[in-house]
Structure 1
Amino acid sequence: MKMFISIVCFAIISWATAPAQDGVKVAPENYKVLLENAHVRVVEFTLKPGQKSPMVSRPNRVIYAITPAIGKLTGSDGKTIAMDRKAGEAWWRDAESLAVENTGKAEIRTVIVELKQ
């Protein structure tokens, strides 16, 4: 019985501390690779109103909003920040792990250019 409890505790701790993963692999309904080469990966990201993406790991990147992007970003530390970007706006984000929630009334569509170096 002690062995079983130890295994369960180890599994829970391992799951809770698992690193964020690649969005393309864990949420293909939200992330679509448009181009990939040795220098960049270009990804289209979509998120329906009320939908939340899983926690994913993202490298340094440029993001371009195709549609308005109204939502909430939650970092791996649990802190949240509001996102309110206009269509046509571009911005830079350093590497991080985060989840995105669409708090707006329309689908979010962005193009993300991830740097590989």
Structure 2
Amino acid sequence: MVADDPVVTNPDHYSILFENEFVRVLEYLDAPGDASRPHEHPNSVMITLTAFHRLLQSGDAEREVALPAGVATWLPAQRHSGTNTGETPTHTIFVELKGASAGTPGVSVLGPN
């Protein structure tokens, strides 16, 4: 588990769907205008179930992210908070890696690659 676990810092948005010694699978749900508190993600694969628009923030860095539904993308280890700036709910799945593959969250990376 990471220091600022999103399931702990944002229990109204994140829930655990599956977990073992290799991966943890999270579901994320929010509504337009909802914001998350700062949290960390290890190296992960994010699967978008709905299209979304978000403003991600980490320290002084900000990044607008817009992704269509049905995309699987790499999310490098990072610490951020986010706000749903779109007009639709966000529904995503995160497959978080554990162990040496988890990486170290940083500020230099923000959002999916």
Same fold (TM over 0.5): yes
> Is 2:45 the partner of 1:62?
yes
> Is 2:60 the partner of 1:82?
no
Over aligned residue pairs, what C-alpha RMSD do you find? 1.0
Structure 1: runs of 5 or more not aligned:
1-19
How many angstroms apart in 1 are the aligned matches of 2:89 and 2:47?
Answer: 14
3-state secondary structure, aligned to 2:55: strand
Structure 1 residue runs of 4+, over 3 Å off? none
Higher percent of residues as helix: 1
TM superposition score normalised by structure 2: 0.82
> Is 2:99 the partner of 1:99?
no
* Larger-gyration structure (1/2): 1
Give the superposition deviation at 1:42: 0.1
TM superposition score normalised by structure 1: 0.80
Structure 2: runs of 5 or more not aligned:
100-113
What is the aligned partner in structure 1 of residue 111 from structure 2? Answer: none
Letter matched to residue 22 of structure 1: D
- The alignment-based identity, stated in percent, is 34
Give the superposition deviation at 1:78: 2.2
